[in-house]
Amino acid sequence: MKTGFTAMRLAIVLYFIPWFFVFNPALIMQGDWREIIYLFALCLVGIWILASGLEGYLIKVGRLSLWPRVFLVIGGFLIAFPGWGDFNWWMTSLIGAAVTAAVVAVILLRRKVASTKLITGE
């Protein structure tokens, strides 16, 4: 049972990828080649952030507790999601990038403060 849940957690990103194709045809190579390349790279970054949040480990940051994982999943999903309604794809990507950057900044700042306290002995 544990193996099944782990496999589902790791592969949950695969459930969202077809929806990304539906909402933005550039991801299936239709349209301008610059938009195709840009959106493909943006989706790769979004999927990486989403998978990092689901797995609980981010490169150069390390293990993550529960609250950053939740925000990384939201941020990664917003980065990779091509947009809906009146929002354009770049608007959701900017919101997702801001959420992700804020979470990483808070984690790194907390770790720096904690290491400074260890060194100074406070």
The residues with which 58 forms a beta bridge, in sequence order, are 62
pLDDT value of residue 97: 92
Contact in structure between 98 and 74 (CB atoms under 8 Å)? no
pLDDT (0 to 100) of residue 9? 77
pLDDT in tens, the chain (122 residues): 889 888 887 787 788 778 777 777 777 888 788 888 888 888 889 888 988 888 888 887 888 888 999 999 999 988 887 665 555 667 888 899 999 999 999 988 888 877 776 677 66
Backbone dihedral region for residue 62 (phi beyond 0: left; psi -120 to 50: alpha; all else: beta): left
User: What ranges in the chain are assigned the alpha helix state H?
Assistant: 2-23, 33-55, 66-80, 89-120
CA angle (79 as vertex; 59, 32 as ends), nearest 5: 120
Look at residue 29 and give its three-state secondary structure.
coil
| Range(s) of the domain holding residue 26 | 2-120
What is the count of structural domains for the chain? 1
Q: Residue 57: helix, strand or coil by DSSP? A: strand
Query: Model's pTM, two decimal places?
Result: 0.78
Using CA atoms, how far apart are residues 37 and 49, in angstroms rounded to an integer?
A: 19
